[in-house]
Structure 1
Amino acid sequence: MKVSNISKSYGDKPVVKQVSFELPKGKLISFIGPNGAGKSTVLHMIARLIPRDSGTIEVDGLDIGQWKDKELAKRLSILTQHNNVTMKLTVRELVSFGRFPHSGNKLTQEDHLLVEQAIDYMELREFSDRHIDALSGGQRQRAYIAMILAQDTDYIILDEPTNNLDIYHSSQMMKLLRRMCDELGKTIVVVLHDINFASCYSDYIAAFKNGELYRFDTAQALMAPEHLKALYNVEFEIQQTRGKSIAIYY
């Protein structure tokens, strides 16, 4: 996926300004930056949830504006922060929605197999027949990720997947996303507020500030005091733990 010079304004206020980068395939890329930096807006433009004012976003060499909805949904899946399903659904029924771009309402034997595989991969087998409104926050988030996994796209776009999760469930979620990259070859893009999660689980980090791309680099390269201070205007100390860079601010 290639993003070239995309911009977005609301009225006379620019929120994203001439942002360009290319997403390496099969990697986990985190978008970080302070509130209002433009990271979620960029994510939503990539997912075609909001229109661009200018610039191009290419998936497999074709601008996303030229893809038919159904065909794009076979290549790119998106999970936003707010996922409120009002229907009374079991986990299995929810995950089955991921097959809609491929088979519509008539699921094939292959569709059912992929649904069951996604349920197992996200460790939801014991909850598969339970209604999603009876699940904990962490279980429910895994069910939504299982739906995205069943969609079987090359690109997975997640807006703050650890939002409203405690530290244990957040770390478990990040470990599952890491596995999806390493074992399934998925290209995963996430918006994160926790820079240490970004450091420990990402291959690359796109750092945003004031609507601009401050830097796109490896996680190791971006976890430096000077870069983090430039982003957040806070003093940082970096410590190495198990081969990962951990930021401590003060």
Structure 2
Amino acid sequence: MENEKKSKLKFENIVKNYGKKVVINGLQGAIADRAITSLIGPNGAGKSTLLSILCRLLKQDRGDVFFDGKGLDRYRSNDLAKHLAILRQSNNTDMKLTVKDLVAFGRFPHSQGRMTALDWEKVDEALAFSGLTELANSFVDELSGGQRQRAFLALIIAQDTAYILLDEPLNNLDMKHAVQVMKTLRRLVDEKGKTVIMVIHEINFAAQYSDYIMALKNGEICYHDVTEKVFNVPILEDIFGINFEIIQHNGKKICNYFNI
């Protein structure tokens, strides 16, 4: 793909095993800058494993990840946290925190715990961008699941990194909150020039909001292209092993796989 030549985040020959099980096998590719790339595929395909390796949460057995031409392993943790932010699948805190205090944790790579006026400005901007200003003084443990997920997303926004990685950000969200999260991610790309990489199971959300699709199957990348090209019946049936029907609506594709 042409976009791979200009990408800052690249990976080569990534291999990860758990015991005798090969989870990902020789993956190579790059992430398009200033775009949403969704990682899709069946359970166990290696999506979350690859995402974790791309942000150094998990160490690969072989291969290399590069950011801005430099091996990821050569970055100090605090420096890397100024470039890459990760929102994991499960986000909980046992501390009694307000939403604003939680979001302020996103500034730690910059402030090292000594918050400046600029840091608090970034926190307020993240709250406003996420539609959480009115909940700033509410306690996180008293929020609904959808509000809590948006609060953790605001934390990532306050971190103000060029790259945002998310592992199933719609997990356990109802439709309304899922749409709110996806619209926020879309705005981060379109208005702030961020790069978003996410693992997602809801393929219709991927179809509506993604620029690129990276599909994994059996530990390998089987398709990586613009969303329009990946979302067609033969490719989706090959990825997931079930029947599909594509419905066109307002220039977007909707996948029907329920009654086919």
How would you bin the TM-score normalised by the shorter chain?
over 0.9
Counterpart in the other structure of 1:14:
22
Q: Specify which of 197, 204, 217 is matched with residue 205 of structure 2.
A: 197
Give 1:28's aligned residue.
36
Q: Do residues 44 (structure 1) and 63 (structure 2) align?
A: no
Aligned to 1:164: 172
Matches within 5 A, 1:92-111: 92-111=100-119
How far residue 84 of structure 1 moved from its aligned partner, in angstroms, is 1.3
CA distance in 2, matches of 1:185, 1:109: 24
CA shift, 1:92, in A, is 0.4
What SS class does the counterpart of residue 114 from structure 2 fall into?
Answer: coil
Q: How does 1:238-249 map to 2 (within 5 A)?
A: 238-249=246-257
The alignment partner of 2:27 has SS state of strand
What residue number does 1:144 align with? 152
Aligned residues: 250
* Matched AA of 1:221: K
Secondary structure of the corresponding residue to residue 207 of structure 2: helix
Separation in 2, partners of 1:244, 1:153: 29
Give the whole-Å Cα distance in 1 for the aligned partners of 2:153 and 2:125: 12
2:65 equivalent among 57, 77, 83: 57
**What is the alpha-carbon distance in structure 1 between the residues aligned to residue 52 and residue 137 of structure 2?**
32
For 1:218 and 1:50, the matched residues in 2 are separated by: 27
- How far apart, CA to CA, are the structure 2 residues paired with 1:140 and 1:88? 13
Q: 1:77 is matched with which residue: 53, 75, 85?
A: 85
* AA in 1 matched with 2:105: F
What amino acid is aligned across from residue 15 of structure 2 in structure 1? S
Gaps of 5+ in 1: none
SS in 1 for 2:45: coil
1:5 corresponds to: 13
Deviation sequence 1:180-199 (CA, Å, 0-9, x none): 00000000011100111101
Task: With the length of structure 1 as denominator, give the TM-score of the two structures.
Answer: 0.99
Q: What are the superposed Cα offsets for residues 219-248 of structure 1, whole Å, 9 maximum, x if unpaired?
A: 110001111111111111111111111111
* Amino acid paired to 2:240: Y
Partner residue in 2 for 1:125 = 133
**Paired amino acid for 2:201:** H
Q: How far off its partner does 1:68 sit?
A: 0.3
Identity of aligned residues (%): 48
Q: Match of 2:122?
A: 114
Q: After superposition, what is the alpha-carbon deviation per residue over 1:35-94, rounded to whole angstroms, capped at 9, x for unaligned?
A: 000000000111111101111111111111110000000000001011110000000000
What secondary structure is seen at the aligned counterpart in 1 of 2:94? coil
Question: Which of these residues, 215, 228, 232, is aligned with residue 207 of structure 1?
Answer: 215
Q: Per the alignment, in what secondary structure is the counterpart of residue 162 of structure 1? A: coil
Distance in 2 (CA, whole Å) between partners of 1:63 and 1:240 is 42
Per-residue Cα deviation, 1:157-191 (whole angstroms, up to 9, x for no partner): 00000000011111111111001000000000111
Query: C-alpha separation between the residues in 2 aligned to 1:168 and 1:88?
Result: 27
1:103-145 alpha-carbon deviations (Å, 9 max, x no partner): 1110011001000000000000110000001111111111000
Describe the SS at the equivalent of 2:34. Answer: coil
Structure 2: which 5+ residue stretches go unaligned? 1-8
Cα shift at 1:21: 1.2
